[in-house]
Copies of this chain bind each other. A is one copy, B any other.
Amino acid sequence: MIIISKRFDILYKRGVILGITIKDIAKLAGVSTSTVSLVLSKKGYVSETTQTKVQKVIDEYNYRPLRAARQLASHLTGYIGFIISHVHLSRSEAFYTRILLGSELEARNYDASIILSTVGLDFSIPNEVPRFLKEKAVDGIIIAGSVREDLIQYIYQEGIPVVLIDFRINDLHLDNVFIDNRSGVRQAVEHLIQKNVERIGFVGGSFYHPSIQERFEGYQLAMEKGGLGDIARDKAFHFLENSETTAEIGEKGMAQVLTNVPDLEAVICVNDTTAMGCLQHLRKKKLHVPSDLAVIGFDDVNIAAVAHPPLTTIHVPKIEMGVTAIRLLIDRIAHPSQVHQTRLVPVELVIRESSLKNQNGQ
């Protein structure tokens, strides 16, 4: 609790802030508090006339039940914990941030609020897990992106309803919201093949994150399917460094693949950020995109559309992912023991200039 002065405390108690209660409403409407409560929760069992009579008083006094009291009596908090790593929250692509936005918006539709908790890598379990976990202050939890596995293990063992977004840990069956990474990359590969572009490389990053891994696998699968299995299996065409996917990794990767394969025609990047690095490297090398080389990203974050040239990429519906996670979580809270569910959010190729090879790509 916040440490407050005695003085404030007294003010508080004197009613400076304490407001109208359910008792007041009951008295004013000439009914019992139970009835008011029933009207409030819209659980039915109240006659039309009583209902309107009570509602009128509620509206008149703009009454809203005190959440804390409601929580205590009902054993439900109306709060959803949203856990995200410092790294993800701070990243500049507004990827996870938009997922958070989606969750926040959708939570309201269930009369719930989001309690945010960021986590780093350096906390101890169970002593320093997010506070709400130990105070039963949330009904369920959403985890966006990668966090330490033992945190998820802890939550799992505590039996708190949880949904993971764009992350998984093996052997643990939890509700998940995934990106359809394989489909996304397949669309990209097919788009290129259709233009008779075949010498297609891949620049990627950390395999710690499942999405990253799936994107590379998707590339290999789609290439194989398109009759380009040799390239799909030729390491000269691939750059995979097990680290955060930054623009620097993109630059480095582009440089390396280009050295290996001077007549490379296109590169698919694990995400838009690395694609920006590729563009950067190509600019330095005075190579023109897309006429010399096509570049395709993944995610469709803000920078993609304003890059030079505008980046062809796979659009990931970030807000919808946040929305979906809330719905899954609500469902899980209502049915704690049902079998775990997975939602695969669809993605779509957005064709901009960076891939318009052999087409006088504007």
Binding site for B on A (CB under 8 A): 1-5, 7-9, 11-13, 16-19, 41, 62, 64-72, 74-79, 82, 86, 89-94, 97-98, 100-101, 104-105, 108, 110-118, 126, 131-132, 134-137, 139, 159, 247-248, 280, 283, 301-303, 306, 308, 330, 333-336
Copies of this chain in its oligomeric complex: 2
A19 CB to closest chain B CB (Å) equals 7
Known A2-B333, A113-B115, A131-B113; judge A18-B65 contact (CB<8 A): no
Task: Determine which residue in A7, A68, A108, A116 has the highest number of CB atoms from chain B within 10 A of its CB, and name it.
Answer: A68
Q: Which residues of B contact A69 (CB under 8 A)?
A: 72
Closest 4 A/B residue pairs (Cβ): A68-B71, A92-B302, A67-B135, A64-B134
Given A8-B334, A92-B303, A114-B116, 11 additional A-B pairs, CB 8 A: A1-B78, A4-B76, A11-B336, A16-B159, A17-B159, A66-B135, A68-B137, A91-B94, A113-B117, A113-B131, A283-B308
| Closest beta carbon of chain B to A42's beta carbon, Å | 9
Cα of A273 to Cα of B71 in the assembled complex, Å: 44
Task: Determine if A308 and B335 form an interchain contact, defined as CB atoms under 8 angstroms apart.
Answer: no
Q: Which residues of B contact A335 (CB under 8 A)?
A: 5, 7-8
Question: What are 23 sample pairs from A and B whose C-beta atoms fall under 8 A apart?
Answer: A1-B70, A2-B76, A2-B110, A2-B139, A4-B333, A8-B333, A8-B335, A8-B336, A17-B159, A65-B135, A66-B136, A68-B72, A72-B72, A90-B97, A91-B302, A104-B116, A104-B118, A113-B116, A113-B131, A115-B115, A115-B116, A248-B306, A283-B308
Chain B positions within 8 Å of A7 at CB level: 335
